[in-house]
């Protein structure tokens, strides 16, 4: 198989992609190996490896910090660096698969959103990710954008100090009062499942454009938390709240479920339902007995 260069190989999704993609073809790069904001390094590393595909999982996604203090950093990583990476890929004859988010929606009508739905982000984070998407498309019609939603994985997210599932379990173990919003609906997605779907998509190989890949179904963050505790048989002090009452700095979409249409038409099977995926994650993390 032709070489695949993976940017962000130690991240939550990158770790599962590293386990899933063909080992003989894979060139995994961590942030220590390549900082995507270093234009010269991007040029040098890609030219040295001459990959057929580049998968970019690098992003700055501390949503509330971006809203209050880190907008410049978000656009540097999520837009400017992505645009440069896409142009270098085009010049070297490599195809880029770039990871994006359901947060490019939210200001318009509620989902589910098909791949051709007009984006309308609510937050600065969503704006920065949408700006990156546009530069990817401008660089080449052969490049691929994969949007997903509510990611959680075995490696956790270094930028967020874990993931939602582990945060909920930790708060419950500490006996804390837990408030979770019940007016934001999405599809939580297990990165092991997403990595498998990306591997299948690459094997097609796909025409350029946008693909939505998430686990099946939908729930609110409160319903997700409730299922975490029910499956894990964990005692908790859990109450539902609203986005307004919770008071986060950044606005989130009220209903950002993504319709997974284009990949299925290419023969990539739909991902399993989110409760089944969550159960598999909890078992893999030894929160559940076999």
Residue of 103, 125, 152, 190 marked active site: 125
- Rounded to 5 degrees, φ, ψ at 25 are -100, -15
Please say whether the beta carbons of 204 and 166 come within 8 A: no
Handedness of CA 269, 86, 107, 70 (dihedral sign): positive
190 annotated active-site: no
Rounded Cα distance between 145 and 268, Å, is 16
Please say whether the beta carbons of 161 and 218 come within 8 A: no
Where are the alpha helices (H) located in the chain, listed in sequence order? Answer: 12-20, 39-49, 63-68, 71-75, 81-92, 124-139, 164-173, 191-203, 221-232, 243-246, 262-265, 274-284
Q: Is 9 exposed, middle or buried (0-12, 13-18, 19+ CB in 10 A)?
A: buried
Please say whether the beta carbons of 6 and 21 come within 8 A: yes
Q: Is the link from the previous residue into 112 a cis peptide, with omega within 30 of 0?
A: yes
**Active site (catalytic) residues:** 125
């Amino acid at each position: 198989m032709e070489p695949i260069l993976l940017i962000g190989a130690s991240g939550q999704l990158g770790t599962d992609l590293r386990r899933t993609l063909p080992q003989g073809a894979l060139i995994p790069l961590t942030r220590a190996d390549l900082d995507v904001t270093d234009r010269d390094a991007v040029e040098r590393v890609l030219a040295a490896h001459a990959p057929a595909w580049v998968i970019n999982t690098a992003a700055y996604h501390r949503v509330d910090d971006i809203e209050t203090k880190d907008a410049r950093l978000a656009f540097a990583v999520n837009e400017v660096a992505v645009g440069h990476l896409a142009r270098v890929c085009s010049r070297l004859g490599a195809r880029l698969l770039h990871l994006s988010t359901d947060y490019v929606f939210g200001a318009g009508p509620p989902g589910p959103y098909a791949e051709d739905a007009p984006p309308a982000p609510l937050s600065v984070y969503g704006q920065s990710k949408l700006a990156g998407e546009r530069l990817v498309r401008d660089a080449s019609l052969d490049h691929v954008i994969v949007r997903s939603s509510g990611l959680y994985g075995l490696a956790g997210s270094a930028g967020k100090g874990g993931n939602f599932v582990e945060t909920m379990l930790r708060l419950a173990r500490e006996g804390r009062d837990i408030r979770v919003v019940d007016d934001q609906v999405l599809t939580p997605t297990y990165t092991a499942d997403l990595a498998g779907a990306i591997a299948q998509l690459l094997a097609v190989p796909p025409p350029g454009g946008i693909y939505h890949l998430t686990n099946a179904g939908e729930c609110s963050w409160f319903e997700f938390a409730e299922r975490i505790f029910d499956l894990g048989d964990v005692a908790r002090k859990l109450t539902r709240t609203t986005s307004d009452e919770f008071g986060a700095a950044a606005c989130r979409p009220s209903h950002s479920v993504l319709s997974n249409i284009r990949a299925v038409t290419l023969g990539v099977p739909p991902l399993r339902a989110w409760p089944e995926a969550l159960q598999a994650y909890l078992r893999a993390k030894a929160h559940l007995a076999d």
